[in-house]
Amino acid sequence: MNGKVALVTGGSRGIGAATAVRLAREGADVAVTYVRGKEEAEDVVRALESLGRRGLALRADSADPLEAAGAVRRTAEALGSLDVLVNNVGVGLLAPLESLSLADVDRVLAVNVRGVFLASQAAASRMGRGGRIITVGTCMTQRVPGPGGTLYATSKSALIGLTKALARELGDRGITANIVHPGPIDTEMNPADGPSAAGQAAMTALGRFGTATEVAGLVAYLAGSEAAYVSGAEFSVDGGYAA
């Protein structure tokens, strides 16, 4: 990926941070967005720069339509182009159906669906042949093991349709679109030693949580030249959670 420029939304921690570092190891210059994690985002930038790549931290709230698309523009202006968009940012609200407010619905759909759509739309307008749009979904689009995930699963399921439609719309321009579904992944938001971790691990075929670097490895493959004939596809990195 030498000479390529990537944007990873929500790239200040977890899967996003691991993805940004992996893309830099593959040769890309990388911008990451954050909302509250400025220090964490700056740590990621320092990690990118230690690998000899350019890094950029941008504050952008994907719930704001102007900021969701604006992050793409700001990345291209600062780093010279945009070749890869990783739609990683998301709101993971899990709660009983009857407890969800209209504000909850609006926030989750604004970040998880509208923000991803607008970022993808803005990226597509700037990408040339070989462009990549990779979206992070969830294993809960394949299997919802219990109550509480209605809103989250709804929002992430919409991204499957978006991905397949993008693949058709952009294919004649040599731009691919794919979606990756992580299972239980050891992150700050869902630690492998958390109160519900044992139950989540037991639902996988491998009996363990995955790591952010394992997800990042698949994203890096989809962003690279070897995946030029892969588009409109769903990939699970879930340890057999949906098997």
pLDDT single digits (tens) 151-172? 999 999 999 999 999 999 999 9
Catalytic residue of the set 34, 152, 221, 229: 152
Phi-psi region of 233 (alpha: psi -120 to 50; beta: other; left: phi over 0): beta
Q: What are the tens digits of pLDDT across the range 44-84?
A: 999 999 999 999 999 999 999 999 999 999 999 999 999 99
The structural domains of the chain, with segments of one domain joined by +, span 5-237
The predicted pLDDT at position 189 comes to 85
Catalytic, 221? Answer: no
- Residue 121: which of 112, 129, 133 has the closest Cα? 133
Q: Has residue 145 got a pLDDT over 90?
A: no
- What confidence tier does 92 reach under pLDDT thresholds 50, 70, 90? confident
Provide the percentage of residues in the chain whose pLDDT is more than 70: 100
> 85 has which bridge partners?
7, 133
Radius of gyration of the chain, Cα coordinates, nearest whole angstrom? 17
The predicted pLDDT at position 213 comes to 98
Q: Is the dihedral of CA 129, 134, 135, 137 positive or negative?
A: positive
- Alpha carbon of 63 to those of 41, 110, 124: distances in Å? 19, 5, 20
Mean pLDDT for the stretch of residues 120-132: 97
- Residue 184: which of 176, 194, 175, 174 has the closest Cα? 194
- How would CATH label the architecture of 5-237? 3-Layer(aba) Sandwich (3.40)
pTM summary value: 0.96
